[in-house]
């Protein structure tokens, strides 16, 4: 379910959050799906339970999951909506990247071709 890159500069809790977001967007995790317990995930990944708890707390704060005491943590009804909204916030960053590419001499056609290739790859994965 989760793969942690211990050599990455990205903190482990952020890797977990990112992977939950990706799995929600791709439909691997759906509303109501139960996440592994903090303890079991900690053992499986050989990671401190506090790190797992930090990721779950942040996912709960973002309303990606709902934690029910004594039952566990579950993907929330709003998860897809929340991830979609946070992804849309990256559009200004994308615009800056496109501007930088254009200034570096990359043509509009090259950028559009690359965007189309990404979308084509995603359609092929479905």
User: What percent of the chain lies above the pLDDT cut of 90?
Assistant: 85
Answer yes or no: is pLDDT of 18 > 90: yes
Contacts of 10 (CB under 8 A, 6+ apart): 18
**pTM (2 d.p.):** 0.76
Kind and range of the H or E run holding 115: helix 108-125
Q: How confident is the model at residue 86 (pLDDT cuts 50, 70, 90)?
A: confident
Q: What pLDDT sits at residue 89?
A: 86
CA pseudo-torsion sign 12, 75, 73, 56: positive
DSSP 3-state of 41 = helix
Start-end of CATH 1.10.10.10 domains in the chain: 12-78
Q: What pLDDT sits at residue 126?
A: 61
Question: pLDDT tens digits, residue range 28-82?
Answer: 999 999 999 999 999 999 999 999 999 999 999 999 999 999 999 999 999 999 9
12-78 is classed CATH 1.10.10.10: yes
* Residue 42 near residue 48, CB atoms below 8 Å: yes
């Amino acid at each position: 379910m989760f793969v942690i890159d211990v050599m990455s500069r990205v903190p482990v809790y952020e890797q977990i959050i990112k992977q939950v977001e990706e799995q929600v967007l791709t439909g691997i995790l759906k509303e109501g799906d139960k996440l592994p317990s903090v303890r079991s995930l900690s053992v499986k990944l050989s990671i401190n339970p506090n790190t797992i708890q930090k990721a779950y707390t942040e996912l709960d704060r973002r309303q990606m999951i709902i934690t029910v005491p004594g039952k566990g943590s579950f993907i929330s009804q709003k998860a897809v909506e929340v991830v979609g909204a946070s992804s849309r916030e990256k559009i200004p960053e994308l615009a800056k990247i496109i501007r930088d590419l254009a200034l570096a001499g990359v043509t509009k056609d090259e950028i559009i071709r690359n965007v189309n290739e990404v979308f084509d790859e995603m359609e092929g994965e479905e």
